Amino acid sequence: TKCVPQKEATSDSSMRSNDDTLSLMIEHEVDDC
């Protein structure tokens, strides 16, 4: 999984409603990268 691309895709996704949860997930994903 790509960190930067996924981050952008998630932000653009309709999941923007879960910004809080998304932020945490993104942080973990980036950390995992």
Which residue do the tokens 């790509």 mark?
A: 2
Angle among Cα 29, 23, 13 to the nearest 5 degrees reads 90
Please state, for a pLDDT cut of 90, what percent of the chain lies above it: 0
Residue 1 pLDDT > 60, yes or no? no
What pLDDT was estimated at residue 11? 54
Please state whether the predicted TM-score (pTM) of the whole model is above 0.75.
Answer: no
Contact call for residues 3 and 25 (beta carbons, < 8 A) = no
Residues in the chain: 33
> Predicted confidence band at 30 (pLDDT cuts at 50, 70, 90)?
low
